[in-house]
Chain A
Amino acid sequence: MSSVTALNGATSNGIINVADAGLMGMITLRGDLASAGMAKAVKAATGSPMPAMRQITTGKSGAAAWMSSDELLLMVDYADADAVVAKISKSLGAAHHLAVNVSDARAVFNLPGDQIRDVLAKGSPADMSNDAFPIGEVRRTRIGQLAVAFWFTDAQNAKLVCFRSVGGHIMRWLENASEIGSEVGFH
């Protein structure tokens, strides 16, 4: 059986474009982020250093996003996720932690465009200004009434993650919020 994303390749073109980001390996990793063992496990899994508060770091084989003071979201190749989880568990051993493959429990969007901040601000109370939310930070907030996390990969591109079960709703929300003619011109 082959894997499919919640969005199944959906795209829309408006004042920003919205696209299914395809299959992405995602691992929830919880534990003591200040410990040397955790930093080592993150480095081995993604090639990236331990992210500081609200930061996302990238490395040769993935990225690590700070979700809370004891939780990270690791992003790796979809096919590698289970093996990476096994590696992390082995490396952390008896240290109190949780590592789980959540790849199929999430939906991921690519959002290319130069009005991303304006579009996301239509549904989220997060401060979308460049000063408050620079490239390299992850923001966990809501869109409408749904929990999401998003971050900018550069000035023209953002990624957004939500729960798989509400992927379709977020797709329709983003499509609607980026309708041609609905430009805001604030950010």
Chain B
Amino acid sequence: MLSLTCPNCGITADETDLHCDGQAHITRHGAGSNDDDLETYLFMRNNPKGVHFERWRHVYGCGKWFHAARCTMTLEVFGTYSAQTFEPPKALINKIKKKRPEFEGFVK
């Protein structure tokens, strides 16, 4: 069972009240971009065994988006943070590094 605390409404919601929308902080390449950039945007995703940064939506609750950092192997949740940011907060990165010395840091 996975539960995440939505930073928009403060509810610690069950996974079934939420919707995951994949890797966070990807750079969007649209019309006019070159083929490599478009391919990366559409198909290429990080998939490490361990720490992931994801976009989630509190779909049955407040309806708002947020970000979550969690381990996809153990389901440990490191934290959730605002959707209005281009990268994870420094404090959260440091917290993860302390818990997982092998974590190489946020990779875009």
Query: Chain A interface (Cβ within 8 Å of chain B)?
Result: 53-54, 67-69, 71, 125-127, 139-142, 147
Q: Is the CB of B62 within 8 A of A69?
A: yes
List chain A residues, Cβ under 8 A from B20.
none
Known: A125-B16, A125-B17, A126-B17. A141 touches B61 (CB 8 A): yes
B63 within 8 A of A: yes
Whether the pair A142, B8 counts as a contact (CB closer than 8 A) is no
Tell me which residues across on chain A come within 8 A of B64, comparing CB atoms: 68-69
Chain B's closest residue to A146 (CB) is B60
Q: A53-B9, A53-B10, A54-B11 are in contact. Are A68 and B60 (CB under 8 A)?
A: no
CA distance A53 to B64 in the complex (A): 13
Contacts of B10 on A, CB cut-off 8 Å?
53-54
For chain B, which range describes its interface: under 10, 10 to 19, 20 to 34, or 35 or more residues?
10 to 19
B60 is contacted by which of A54, A127, A147 (Cβ under 8 Å)?
Answer: A147
> What 1/0 mask marks residues of chain B from 1 to 40 whose CB sits below 8 Å from any chain A CB?
0000000111111101100000000000000000000000
A–B pairs, 28, beta carbons within 8 Å: A53-B9, A53-B10, A54-B9, A54-B11, A67-B62, A67-B63, A68-B8, A68-B63, A68-B64, A69-B8, A69-B9, A69-B62, A69-B64, A71-B63, A125-B13, A125-B14, A125-B16, A125-B17, A126-B11, A126-B14, A140-B60, A140-B61, A140-B62, A140-B63, A141-B17, A142-B16, A142-B60, A147-B60
A68 and B14 contacting across the interface, CB-CB below 8 Å: no
Number of A-B pairs whose CB atoms are under 8 Å?
Answer: 38
Q: Which chain A positions have C-beta within 8 A of B60?
A: 140-142, 147
CB distance from A159 to the nearest CB of B (A): 18
| Nearest CB of chain A from residue B25's CB, rounded to whole Å | 22
Roughly how many angstroms separate A118 CA and B105 CA in the complex, as a whole number?
Answer: 44
Cβ–Cβ < 8 Å partners of B13 in chain A: 125, 141
Please judge, given known A-B contacts A68-B63, A68-B64, whether A142 and B9 are in contact too, CB under 8 Å: no
B76-90: CB near A (< 8 Å → 1, else 0) gives: 000000000000000
Tell me how far the C-beta of A134 lies from the nearest C-beta in chain B, rounded to whole angstroms: 13
Chain A residue, CB-CB nearest to B59: A147
Residues of B within 8 Å of A139, CB to CB, are 11
C-alpha gap A140/B60 in the complex (Å): 6
Complex alpha-carbon distance, A125 and B14, angstroms: 6
CB nearest to A68 among chain B residues:
B62
Nearest A residue to B60, CB-CB: A142
Report how far A67 CA is from B14 CA in the complex, Å: 18
> Is the CB–CB distance between A142 and B63 below 8 Å?
no
